[in-house]
Amino acid sequence: MEQYKNVFIFDHPLIKHKISILRDKNTGMKEFRELIEEITTIMTYESMRDVELVPVEVETPLEVTTQYRIAEDSIAIVPILRAGLGMVNGVHKVFPTAKVGHIGMYRDEETLEPHEYYCKLPEGIESKMVFLIDPMLATGGSACDALNALKKRGCKKIKLMSVIAAPEGIKAVAEAHPDVPVYVSTLDRGLNEHGYILPGLGDAGDRLYGTK
């Protein structure tokens, strides 16, 4: 999706390897969950490349030196329930002190329209760098609504991370929220008549938690 300057598609051999296992219908729940976390961790390293640093004085065994750290309490993770929960640990492996909020969205199976049913965010969310996470970016409806919910609550610095995306979802988010960087590990072909990504990997929430 080269026409969108705020969209970043990963092209990493390690991610491709893990995605191929993730897609396999025979991959079990435990391995599926571990793969989602591992892919998220790889993505987090790259998506945090421009996170703001602050200078700190550090005393080494030999001398005092000025070093740089991510400001304390400046990062928040907000998964879109429920599948987004599967990505939280992947971000926490990189930045374990990040606060976690939750946005609950469900999709009308007939209209495919998203509806918010829950929102609980860390205090001071408006001043944090927020990582909105959801494994699947399909129609883009849930992501757009979640971004609207965050902006409504004062968030100004938001990044969206998804493992698999359809062109329709990227188009919807990139055009509705051109100020939000979108990080995707893999771009798939498109959507079927039910709004599922093809070739995709099925329902990420069901495969993460063993439900149908």
3 state DSSP class of 53: strand
179 a catalytic residue: no
Is residue 188 part of the annotated active site? The answer reads no
CA dist 95 and 106 (Å) reads: 28
Active site residue 41: no
11 CB contacts (<8 Å, ≥6 apart)? none
Q: Identify the active-site residue in 111, 179, 189, 211.
A: 111
**Distance from C-alpha of 1 to C-alpha of 169, rounded to nearest angstrom:** 11
Residue of 184, 96, 97 lying closest to 132 (CA atoms): 184
- Map tokens 């001071």 to a residue: 124
Residue 33, phi-psi category: left (phi > 0), alpha (psi -120 to 50), beta (remainder):
alpha
Report yes or no: 31 and 168 within 8 Å, Cβ to Cβ: no
Yes or no: say if 169 and 147 are a contact pair by the CB < 8 Å rule: no
Contacts of 7 (CB under 8 A, 6+ apart): 1, 170, 174, 181, 182, 184
Question: Of 27, 33, 41, 206, which is the active-site residue?
Answer: 206
d(CA 102, CA 121): 6
Q: Which one of 23, 27, 33, 203 is the catalytic residue?
A: 203
Catalytic residue list = 107, 111, 203, 206
